[in-house]
Amino acid sequence: MSKRDHPELFEQGSDPSAPPRAPLPTSTEHREGPGHPHAPSALRRLMDSNFLQYASYVICDRAVPALEDGLKPVQRRILWALHRLDDGRFMKVANVVGHTMQYHPHGDASITDALVNLQNKRYLIEGQGNFGNLITGDSAAAARYIECRLTDLARRELFHDALTPLIPSYDGRNKEPVVLPCKIPLLLMLGAEGIAVGLSTRILPHNFIELLKAQIAILRKRSFTLVPDFIQGGLMDASEYDDGRGRVRVRARIRPKEKTTSTLVITEIPFGVTTESLIASIEEAAKTGKIPVRAIHDYTAAQPEIELLLSPGSDVERAIQSLYAFTACEQSLTSRIIVIRDNRPVEMDVRAVLKANTERLLQLLEAELRHRRNTLIEEIHAKTLVQLFVENRVYKRFETCRSEDALRKAVRDGMAPFRRQLQRDLSDADIEMLLGIRIRRISQFDREQNEHQRLTLAQELAQVEKDLGALVPYAIHYLQNLIKTYEAQFPRRTEPASFEAIELRTLTAQELKIRVDREKGYLGHDVEGELLFECSSLDKIVLVWNDGRYKVIPPPEKLFTDTTLVYAGKHERDRVMTLVYEHEGLSYLKRFAFGGAIQNKEYRCAPSESRILFFHDAECPLLFVKYKPAKHQRIHQQTFNPLEVGVKGVQARGNQMTAKRIDRIAAGPEKPRWWQDEPEGESPKGVLF
């Protein structure tokens, strides 16, 4: 690009010696007029205009389906190409892709992917060959090896050439449909996902028969409820679906293989998951100890069949809950219905979409009936014309005619006396039709057969007029016929259910075994040493050192804590701790709860330069304290009741116990072995103040 080619883009110049440019205008500056000092440059105006065109194109012509027929442009072009090529036989997918490229301005890969995706949904395209597998995630064979054709449902319900609005294709050589005259709620049947510029859509698929029944309920002005249905089956909790504005949770179907064995079998998988990704998630959870699975066998063929061999002694129900909690056996699917309506993206819910589809169904049925009525009128008119033309020997007038105009005038004059028996005035097309009748047809004309056909058409015309006068009952009857035809072919596959909340910490309470090596000063679940406690990987643990420091951390694999660690346990905000520490020659007792803490940040539960003498994480009814021998010391041991001390904050100093140096401390209720019974009164209970 040069200044000579695009001078308007170089208005500000590009000379290095020129003064620095002003900052790019903000969105508010865009609204200023061209004379404003901060008016947008020609380059910015060009970029804004082009970006808006690109964004509009991606939203309306690529990523988001239309409300009227539920299709994205590439899907509509594929179906139109199949319709134009359809002769009832299978045809190569590569051939269909080539014909679709007459209408689609992008590459063949996107067309092939869209066609395979449509075939896997089983409603509109029937395939022959390897179209991939939604269950295993296997990809389809090359387009030259697989074949397809329209299903009967697509042929009957998607196309009507007389009612299809057409526009020129991208190169102007062909005509393509704006929307297809689709009479079924295809948008909710197929579902859709698309990411456009600044917005995305996700529409979950629904059961075809349930959608038809809901449309009947709409026509009868009754209530209805709709929830998604997935071809993979499984279980679904739609309590938060909110008519397509919320989410659903879907689960695999898991059952014990036999009541006497510890083997689980997965027979259905959630939507959006393949057996490969599901097995990978199970293996990862088994490695981290979240689920007690020691072997996985995949016997998937036409349907999923994954066998999980549990560890000996495992609880089957607990294992199933763990699979839902820690693997891809449960998925949460969010729904956000954004469609193109009147050439604009709009957000809708399931009810609004289905009501719009039902209104369009009424419009299309009325248009079809009117088109059929006009066709019947023309057929009756044509048969009446032929009968009058033959029976009254109008063709005899041709013998004296010497020109084309004379022939036309002879027909018009000969049919003029019978105008009242005709549906309308004679047209040029009618005259051409009469002039084209062969002598053989005239000589073999069967009046009774013609009259019978004319009466049959008249009866059909009367029925069409009747249906036009009662359009809603006609639509209900039409939907009922669809249900009767396809109910056995499209049953519900996903079973609605209600899922109870899974407490993850309960399932993983014994996931990790925290051990300590007191000699080397290491702590963690990958340490050989004394077992301290079992916990979940979701838990946090608190560490307390001899000098009063403490820290809250996630369960470590192997952490050096040094040998001054006095306590390690699960962190519970409100759990009451009992602490005795020595500071500046005095001993203090306090009860406290750690409360909230920032992970991996160091805190103190005792003042600096303190030394912890006793730490306990349970209620202590009595503390037995033995003092170190000292000159003139009369009291050598005492008992204290910590429950008499109020619970304070972790930073509080606590209550003073004694100024004596403590030798040993033990928690009751029973006396320790080193406790010496003395005469009453010589070892009074400690008084805390």
- The catalytic residue positions are 145
SS3 422: coil
E strands in 35-177 = 91-92, 125-128, 147-150, 166-168, 175-177
Alpha-carbon dihedral 51, 52, 56, 57, rounded to 10 degrees? -40
Q: SS3 of 193, please?
A: strand
Bridge-partner residues for 579, per DSSP? 590, 615
Tokens describing residue 413 = 């004059």
Residue 671 CA neighbour count, 13 Å, CB half? 10
282: helix, strand or coil: helix
Integer-rounded Cα Rg, in Å, for the chain is 42
Any residues with CB less than 8 A from the CB of 419 and at least 6 apart, and which?
Answer: 425, 426
The span from the CA of 277 to the CA of 137, in Å, is 9
Task: Give CA–CA dist 364/353, Å, rounded.
Answer: 16
> In this structure, which amino acid lies at residue 389?
F
- Is 578 in a helix, a strand, or coil? strand
CA dihedral 232, 237, 238, 240 (to 10 degrees): -130
The residue whose two tokens read 């901060």 is: 38
- The position carrying tokens 């005619």 is 401
- Which of 215, 162, 190, 229 is CA-nearest to residue 66? 190
CB atoms closer than 10 angstroms to residue 485: 12
SS3 95: helix
Task: Give the residue among 631, 675, 680, 639 at the shortest CA–CA distance from 658.
Answer: 639
Instruction: Name the residue type at position 385.
Output: L
**What span, in angstroms and rounded, lies between the C-alpha atoms of 626 and 623?**
10
One-letter amino acid at 198 equals G
Instruction: Give rounded-to-5 percent helix, strand, coil for the chain.
Output: 35, 20, 40
Phi-psi region of 286 (alpha: psi -120 to 50; beta: other; left: phi over 0): alpha
CB 536 within 8 Å of CB 505: yes
Packing angle of the helix pair 428-435, 404-415 (nearest 10 deg): 100
Are the C-beta atoms of 131 and 116 separated by less than 8 Å?
yes
Cα 39–chain centre separation: 44
Q: What sign has the CA pseudo-torsion 581, 583, 585, 587?
A: negative
**What is the Cβ-side half-sphere exposure of residue 119, based on CA atoms within 13 angstroms?**
25
Report how far residue 63's alpha carbon sits from residue 304's, in angstroms, rounded to the nearest whole number: 31
Do the strands 647-648 and 586-593 form a parallel or antiparallel pair, or are they unpaired? parallel
The tokens for 645 are 């001390």
Counting runs of H as helices and runs of E as strands, what totals does the chain give? 16, 33
Instruction: Assess contact for 118 and 191: CB atoms under 8 A.
Output: no
CA distance 305 to 300: 5
Give residue 489's identity as a one-letter amino acid code: Q
Q: How far, in Å, CA of 515 to CA of 526, rounded?
A: 8
Which of 212, 224, 196, 319 is closest to 265 using CA atoms?
319
Measured distance CA(290)–CA(86) in Å, rounded: 54
